[in-house]
A and B are shown apart, each in its own frame.
Chain A
Amino acid sequence: MEVGSPSPAVDAAMAACLFALDPVGCGVLLRARPGPAREAWVALLRRLWPDARPLRRVPVGIPDSRLLGGLDLAATLAAGRAVAERGVLAECDGGAIILAMAERLDPGTAARIARTIDEGEVVVARDGLTQRLPARFGVLALDEGLADDEVVPRALADRLAIHLALDDALLPKRIDENDLDAAHALLPRVTADERVITALVSASLALGIDTLRAPLHALTVARAAAALAGRGALAEDDIALAARLVLAPRATHLPAPPESAANEDAEELPPPSKNEEDPATAPVPQELQDLVLEAAKAAIPPHLLAELQAGLGARSAPRAAGRLGIEQKARRRGRPSGTRPGALRPGERLALIETIRVAAPWQRFRRAERSVQTTTPRVIVRREDIRLMRFKAPTERTAIFVVDASGSTALARLAEAKGAVELLLSDCYVRRDTVALIAFRGIAAEVVLPPTNALARARRALARLPGGGGTPLASALDLVGKLADQVARRGRTPIAVLLTDGRANVARDGTPGRPKAEEDALFAARQLRAQRLSAILIDTAPRPQPTAQRLATEMGARYLALPYADAERLSRAVRAGMEMQP
């Protein structure tokens, strides 16, 4: 299908033009390493950017007082009255902010920015001030993330229309600098056919894009593109461009083959009354949808296309985003992360500067109150001024080893597993991780060793572990869930390491029989996944089994097949697996 001539370089340059024209509607998430390509892109944007509008870089660790605004302490003290300081978001009203290293953005900061985008105004309720300030701005997020789990917080990424990836081989091509002023005047008048909406929504669905913001973004981008081209109505090129810039990067799977898609649409599209108007001038939705899909498909990078075709569309693994659970607020270890009010108890650390900041505006007032007394301290600090340091530290981990001691795991393998666990134990000891051990054989699973960091105890428990009997996998997984829950409640991050061949033959209620046992095990595995437990499953079968692999998938666990591993190799693999966990 002929859809313009999509060249990534031209599209990238177009994205800069669109952002300059409509920064609020066409926010950009630019995934690129710092380098000539990115510099060229940003330079292009700056060239297009009208001087009168603010375009400010915002550091990723910006405190709330600068982001949202608050009390301007120096001015307040000098003037003797409360003077508000506007935050960056309010200052950039009518312009745009550039977020460098956006992948390191704290989810809380991202949520504040996201909310301001939604509301078009910043709500400040800080330092004795309550303000609402207009804040309509565009966001350019520079994402330098390398690994797959280094991603811009979804709350923000979701609200940025254009997702653009640049690499060094791709320099933005110079294009004609369109007359932005004319486009600006035209933009509010660009009309969009209802058919376009239908096509964009259907195409989003076909590409597996869940959020409804995507088709809305695509519509906005298409309108801006039309305005740039001096058109008062959307043309196919505009829609195709929007599909490439907005929909393609968000695709999670490829559309079903055309014939089945056509059937589906025939049933689900709204009544044809809406499609009756001037059918001659505009293409019918099906064609439009094909156009959108073709354009999007053409813009998906080849390696991703292959992955999507293989059904591995797991670019947005849910676990990667849940960073909040991993970093816990520690009392006195880790890196500082802001302050909080509270009582100064042993074990807390005073945030001196912040405390004085809070106390400062009240000094004159407090001095006046105290004037009857002869001596007053230079600074009067009261209990409610006290601010304490807050720290963020990665939580300690508890590795829960789950060892299959049943007869199907040959005794030799059990010895290997024991050896590996022992090696890992010493490893955990060094890292101050605690370990727990669950063994299952016969008709039930049991906690052989509750979470501990006593190495000697763990060794003894392991050595005593007998082998043989049935494989009550479901009970074992249930027990893992329960133990992980307990561990998490104590503020630790549980990670399960299962050593099994996955061949369950004892059901949850203790009765033998393979089909029921396997069904129970898979059910229990799904429960663990719902619990979002990080897990590694090591297939101990001499030949890797599809059953174990299925179990790992259902559980959301990393699967390692180690048919002939010795203890040393096994522990190395687990260690590598554990490092990869968040």
Chain B
Amino acid sequence: MPDDAIPRRSGASVVTPRKATRRPPFPFTAIVGQEEMKRALLIAAVDPSVGGVLAFGDRGTGKSTTVRALAALLPPMTVVAGCPYNCAPDSTSGLCPACTHGDESQVASVPVPVIDLPLGATEDRVLGALDIERALAEGVKAFEPGLLARANRGFLYIDEVNLLEDHLVDVLLDVAASGENVVEREGISIRHPARFVLVGSGNPEEGELRPQLLDRFGLSVEVRTPEDVATRIEVVKRRDAYERDPAGFVASWAKEEAKLRRQIVSARNRLARTSVPDAALDRAARLCLALGTDGLRGELTLMRAARALAAIEGETSVTDQHLRVVAPTALRHRLRRNPLDETASTTRIERALAEVFGG
């Protein structure tokens, strides 16, 4: 998976143990229900500038399964071969120091990284630090990139985001805002690009999310256990089939996965040509006004999300329907009172939608 795909310099992996036999992730297309969450992730995959996805809700609803499934679904991206920061070969800005100065380099195709930030990770592994192995053995000062480097141009996933240590949250907020990671350690000073889509999931019972962090996510999804029996049965059946034979189950969904992958690719190509008519802009502004959301960020996210959705659906311009569909996801965490009372926020958005769009 992603971490194997990222080229690493020799010496960094001396302590790499015997390989864990990892089963392939549960296919994205085989996930029953959870449409809002799947839609939000696809929107972020088509247009990373929407700025992250937060999934909060019930236990055992496959929040992490869905995010991890994304890794296998996304079409591969091209990188400068051997670059630990996944620099884009055809880009001229936002490159790491080596690629900025580098000459013509080899191009490689790698899976889009979906990097898991494990709970209990120490700061040096997140930010990157001096390579301890080489320092000890060779007395050489070499920077070993951390998780943020590996997540560049991909996704950074934090499960149980509300349990994350405060100092790590601060670091993440800083990097997510600037798109750049600056490390000053052991007398080395390095800055490298770290643009990633922050994906967080958690359960509100475990504690609340700091308002600053909440605000940092472009889209917010509420995840509920499906209510009807038929859906529940289907969920359990598929999960059971996967547990019994992961490889076989994944193979049986390969066709669906390929289809959705093509859809993402064509949506990305179409995105730049997807227009947002003035009428839609006006509606979006009126909606945000009616809800009293803070600042322009809500409006901007709403528009971008609607545009990405239009592109996914193969359309060339944003309609009211797109706005209506993405409005709860883009706005529910921006309402002023009771950020945790998601049901009430959703109801308020629905009311405002009916007011602005009529009926």
Which A residues are closer than 8 A to B by beta carbons?
64, 67-68, 71, 76, 80-84, 107-108, 111-112, 115, 118, 120-121, 123-134, 153-155, 158, 188, 192, 194, 197-198, 200-202, 204-205, 210-213, 215-216, 219, 265, 268-270, 318, 321-325, 329, 340-342, 361-362, 364-365, 368-369, 382, 384, 527, 530-532
Give the 9 A-B residue pairs with the shortest CB-CB distance, closest first. A324-B207, A530-B341, A128-B132, A125-B125, A125-B121, A211-B60, A213-B60, A134-B20, A123-B118
Task: Determine whether the beta carbon of A265 is less than 8 Å from that of B229.
Answer: yes
B182 within 8 A of A: no
- 17 more contacts with CB within 8 A, not counting A201-B233, A324-B207, are A82-B133, A112-B120, A115-B159, A123-B116, A125-B121, A128-B129, A130-B3, A134-B18, A134-B21, A155-B59, A158-B59, A201-B232, A213-B59, A269-B230, A322-B206, A362-B130, A362-B135
Task: Determine whether the beta carbon of B17 is less than 8 Å from that of A133.
Answer: yes
List the B side residues contacting A268 at CB < 8 Å.
228-230
Given contacts A125-B147, A128-B144, A321-B205, contact A81 B344 (CB under 8 A): no
B165 within 8 A of A: yes
Find residues 102-134 in chain B having any chain A CB closer than 8 Å to their own CB: 116-126, 129-133
Task: Name the CB-closest residue of B to A320.
Answer: B205
B237 within 8 A of A: yes
Task: Determine whether the beta carbon of B206 is less than 8 Å from that of A321.
Answer: yes
Q: Could you tell me the distance between the alpha carbons of A129 and B122 in the complex, rounded to whole angstroms? A: 10
Given contacts A192-B240, A340-B165, contact A115 B133 (CB under 8 A): no
Q: Could you tell me the distance between the alpha carbons of A70 and B248 in the complex, rounded to whole angstroms? A: 35
Task: Determine whether the beta carbon of B17 is less than 8 Å from that of A131.
Answer: yes
Given contacts A81-B133, A84-B17, A341-B123, contact A210 B22 (CB under 8 A): no
List the B side residues contacting A71 at CB < 8 Å.
132
Task: Determine whether the beta carbon of B125 is less than 8 Å from that of A126.
Answer: yes
Which of B118, B119, B120 has the most chain A CB atoms closer than 10 A to its own CB? B120
List the A side residues contacting B124 at CB < 8 Å.
127-128
Q: Could you tell me the distance between the alpha carbons of A440 and B340 in the complex, rounded to whole angstroms? A: 27
List the A side residues contacting B125 at CB < 8 Å.
125-130
Q: Can you sample 20 A-B contacts with CB below 8 Å?
A: A68-B118, A80-B137, A115-B119, A118-B64, A120-B20, A125-B120, A126-B121, A128-B129, A129-B15, A129-B125, A130-B3, A205-B232, A211-B60, A212-B61, A212-B226, A212-B235, A212-B239, A325-B208, A365-B136, A530-B341
Q: Could you tell me the distance between the alpha carbons of A492 and B269 in the complex, rounded to whole angstroms? A: 51
Task: Name the CB-closest residue of B to A134.
Answer: B20
Q: Could you tell me the distance between the alpha carbons of A535 and B341 in the complex, rounded to whole angstroms? A: 17
Find residues 229-273 in chain B having any chain A CB closer than 8 Å to their own CB: 229-230, 232-237, 239-240, 243-244
Task: Determine whether the beta carbon of A216 is less than 8 Å from that of B240.
Answer: yes
List the A side residues contacting B22 at CB < 8 Å.
120-121, 132
List the B side residues contacting A158 at CB < 8 Å.
59-60
Task: Name the CB-closest residue of B to A327.
Answer: B207
Task: Determine whether the beta carbon of A125 is less than 8 Å from that of B340.
Answer: no
Q: Could you tell me the distance between the alpha carbons of A325 and B3 in the complex, rounded to whole angstroms? A: 35
B167 within 8 A of A: yes
A108 interface neighbour in B3, B119, B244, B344, Cβ under 8 Å:
B119
Task: Name the CB-closest residue of B to A198.
Answer: B233
List the B side residues contacting A194 at CB < 8 Å.
237
List the A side residues contacting B230 at CB < 8 Å.
268-270
List the B side residues contacting A200 at CB < 8 Å.
236
List the B side residues contacting A188 at CB < 8 Å.
244
List the B side residues contacting A215 at CB < 8 Å.
232, 236
Task: Name the CB-closest residue of A to B140.
Answer: A365
B122 interface neighbour in A120, A125, A131, Cβ under 8 Å:
A125
B160 within 8 A of A: yes
Task: Name the CB-closest residue of A to B234.
Answer: A270
Which of B59, B121, B159 has the most chain A CB atoms closer than 10 A to its own CB? B59
Question: Whole-angstrom distance from the CB of A151 to the nearest CB of chain B?
Answer: 11
B212 within 8 A of A: no
List the A side residues contacting B120 at CB < 8 Å.
64, 67-68, 108, 112, 125-126
Q: Could you tell me the distance between the alpha carbons of A81 and B137 in the complex, rounded to whole angstroms? A: 6
Q: Could you tell me the distance between the alpha carbons of A134 and B130 in the complex, rounded to whole angstroms? A: 27
Task: Name the CB-closest residue of A to B12.
Answer: A130
Task: Name the CB-closest residue of B to A194.
Answer: B237
B90 within 8 A of A: no
Task: Determine whether the beta carbon of B122 is less than 8 Å from that of A329.
Answer: no
Q: Could you tell me the distance between the alpha carbons of A236 and B99 in the complex, rounded to whole angstroms? A: 65
List the B side residues contacting A134 at CB < 8 Å.
18, 20-21
Q: Could you tell me the distance between the alpha carbons of A382 and B187 in the complex, rounded to whole angstroms? A: 10
Task: Name the CB-closest residue of A to B205.
Answer: A321
Task: Determine whether the beta carbon of B135 is less than 8 Å from that of A365.
Answer: yes
Task: Determine whether the beta carbon of B344 is less than 8 Å from that of A527.
Answer: yes
List the A side residues contacting B167 at CB < 8 Å.
340-342
Q: Could you tell me the distance between the alpha carbons of A557 and B288 in the complex, rounded to whole angstroms? A: 34
Task: Name the CB-closest residue of A to B168.
Answer: A340
B14 within 8 A of A: yes
Task: Determine whether the beta carbon of A107 is less than 8 Å from that of B206.
Answer: yes
Task: Determine whether the beta carbon of A531 is less than 8 Å from that of B340.
Answer: yes
List the A side residues contacting B135 at CB < 8 Å.
361-362, 365
Contact with A along B293-314 (1 / 0, CB 8 A): 0000000000000000000000
B160 interface neighbour in A111, A210, A213, Cβ under 8 Å:
A111
Task: Name the CB-closest residue of B to A76.
Answer: B136
Task: Name the CB-closest residue of B to A215.
Answer: B236
List the B side residues contacting A68 at CB < 8 Å.
118, 120
